[in-house]
Amino acid sequence: MRLARIPVSAILTLLGLLLQVSVFGRLQLPGATPDILLLVVVGLALVYGPTGGCLVGFAAGLLADLAPPSDHAIGRYALVLCLMGYAAGLLRPEHGRQRSVSSALLVVAAAAIASTLLYAMVGALVGDTAARHVGLDQLVLTALLYDLLLAPFVVPAVMLIARRFGKDPLSVAEDDEGGPGLGSLARYRTTREPSAGPGYRKKRLLGAGKRP
């Protein structure tokens, strides 16, 4: 993960956590709570890939575990968002292509369902049975509905900010996978003099021998 992506991810994560705790967490909506942090993690993972999505998801989940009024075991939400970030990063568009809104919504829908089920599953393992009292099916449906309603506004904005401000100006040309790409090699080939090749020198010698 590039160093330039760390402050961008930190600002977006803190902003999402602030909205999650101070705004959406107090709406008292039926069923689940709109998960802004999940949308931020998904948006960053679709730009940064699986490794970056995993790291951002773990950090965001750990902050949510520590932020009041958290009433669950520390590390529970970090595990969920870590896995969601990694899975969403695997679905990153290749060759720098822009992901359409419909395909991004499908990723959000899958992440909303999977994160709710995984959170409830981890809670059952540690003795948290709150999901049983509310109803797991209601939690999944409301989480899916709320996240899909917010996704068209949150995910594209997060991806745009990540692409625009997450680039390191001092780094060398890189491909979509985050490693050294073919950009520098292509520039090297185009700037080489054609006379440097042995075939060119051979043609020159043959041409000189045919002259009278």
pLDDT band at residue 167 using 50, 70 and 90 as cut-offs: low
Distance from C-alpha of 202 to C-alpha of 184, rounded to nearest angstrom: 28
Quick check: 123 pLDDT over 60?
A: yes
What are the contacts of 198-207 at 24+ separation with CB within 8 A?
none
Please choose, from the candidates 210, 87, 121, the residue with its C-alpha nearest in 3D space to the C-alpha of residue 130.
Answer: 121
pLDDT above 90 as % of the chain: 44
Whether the model clears a pTM of 0.85, i.e. scores above it, the answer is no
Tell the CATH topology of 5-165. Arp2/3 complex 21 kDa subunit ARPC3 (1.10.1760)
Q: Kind and range of the H or E element at 9?
A: helix 5-22
Q: Please, which residues bridge with residue 174 across strands?
A: 180
